[in-house]
Amino acid sequence: MEDALIDQLTRSLPQGQGTFVGIGDDCAVTHSPRKGELLLLKTDCIVEGIHFAKDAAATQVGWKALCRAISDIAACGGIPTHALITFAAPPDLPVRWLKSAYRGLARAARQFEIGIVGGESARSPKTFFLSVTLIGRVLQRHLVLRSGAQPGDSLFVTGRLGGSLRGHHLRFTPRLWEARWLTAHFPIHAMMDLSDGLGSDLPRMARASHTGFKIQPQSIPKNSGCSFEQALTDGEDYELLFAISPQNEKLLFKQWPFPRLKLTKIGQMTAHPKQSSPLPPGYDHFK
């Protein structure tokens, strides 16, 4: 329902000059003054009671807010550069809580070499809201979209899935360096980050690529204590899902330079959407 609503709201919006990729991917992409380079634009928000509980540590809330957007830049093979931060706070929110949230933002910005260069603030009647607008850059030859998967491609995920509510969703590390390594060393046909769960995000990749998919349930890398369904539906994994030619599988496994991060083949893309494996859907804000 969320995808359908967004389509209804945005289908007639003007895209403007210089747009390379508009609405519908992990990032918007525009042309850059630099030859051979593109700009990546991403905005994301977190809302109290939806993305974090009222008693969550403020530093973790700030970390999550920026890292969610970094994860989308990573999924396009890019490098984040500058961020704008907007928040709306209720009257009873302590200033010390806001300062802690900004410490979390600053920690993420320093770790991933991002400048926080502005934003906006406003009053909220009841709940706290924090929005991040992130700008990045990517070499045109390294840009990866969710729409490039081909029939027969092998499907991979990084890390393990499921169980995000145990705290992972507040302290995850976006796979920025891993995505940059992938796009620099292999022709990645399609990629996206897993924010709503594999059960929702993989069908999105297939729809964008006009393909179907088959997964091997026993191959899904689950976090300890998670069921197959939880690995598909819990969401907020912030791992990479990508499609690559099967000819590159062996070399990918051989050269993978991140020994602490699991890399798993979970299936392949098929020629027709009707061939897709049935999956329980992940998180949907408007279900």
Tens of pLDDT, residues 170-192: 999 999 999 999 999 999 999 99
* Residue 7 maps to a domain: no
CATH number of the domain that 91 lies in? Answer: 3.30.1330.10
- Which of 141, 156, 182 marks a domain boundary? 141
4-8, 230-234, 252-256, 280-284: segment of lowest average pLDDT: 280-284
CA-CA distance, 87 to 130, in Å (whole number)? Answer: 4
Q: Does 26 share its domain with 131?
A: yes
* Residue 261 maps to a domain: yes
pLDDT reported for residue 280: 77
10-24, 138-152, 204-218: segment of lowest average pLDDT: 10-24
Cβ proximity of 197 and 164 under 8 Å:
no
Q: What percent of the chain has pLDDT over 90?
A: 84
pLDDT at 114 over 80: yes
- Which of 141, 160, 193 marks a domain boundary? 141
CA-CA distance, 97 to 112, in Å (whole number)? Answer: 23
* Residue 2 maps to a domain: no
In 188-248, alpha helices (H): 198-209, 228-233
Mean model confidence pLDDT for the chain:
94
Q: Does 96 share its domain with 180?
A: no
Residue of 257, 197, 205, 203 lying closest to 223 (CA atoms): 197
The pTM of the full predicted model, rounded to 2 decimals, is: 0.94
Number of other residues whose CB lies within 10 A of the CB of residue 218: 7
Q: Does 113 share its domain with 26?
A: yes
- Which of 141, 162, 177 marks a domain boundary? 141
Q: Which residue has better confidence, 24 or 100?
A: 100
pLDDT reported for residue 285: 67
DSSP structural state of residue 34: S
Q: Does 261 share its domain with 149?
A: yes
pLDDT reported for residue 210: 94
Q: Range of 28's domain?
A: 15-141
CATH number of the domain that 181 lies in? Answer: 3.90.650.10
- pLDDT confidence bin for 287, thresholds 50/70/90: low
* Residue 237 maps to a domain: yes
pLDDT at 205 over 60: yes
User: What is the mean pLDDT of the segment spanning 121-138?
Assistant: 97
What pLDDT, in 10s, does the model give residues 16-33?
A: 888 989 888 889 999 999
pLDDT at 168 over 90: yes
Tell how far CA 168 is from the center of its chain. 15
In the chain, alpha helices (H): 2-10, 58-75, 95-111, 168-171, 176-185, 198-209, 228-233, 249-255
What pLDDT, in 10s, does the model give residues 249-268?
A: 999 999 999 999 999 999 99
- pLDDT confidence bin for 284, thresholds 50/70/90: low
* Residue 282 maps to a domain: no
Number of other residues whose CB lies within 10 A of the CB of residue 84: 15
* Residue 66 maps to a domain: yes
CA-CA distance, 268 to 262, in Å (whole number)? Answer: 18
- In the chain, the number of structural domains is 2
In 22-171, alpha helices (H): 58-75, 95-111, 168-171
* Residue 281 maps to a domain: no
Q: Does 228 share its domain with 119?
A: no
pLDDT reported for residue 281: 75
- pLDDT confidence bin for 5, thresholds 50/70/90: confident
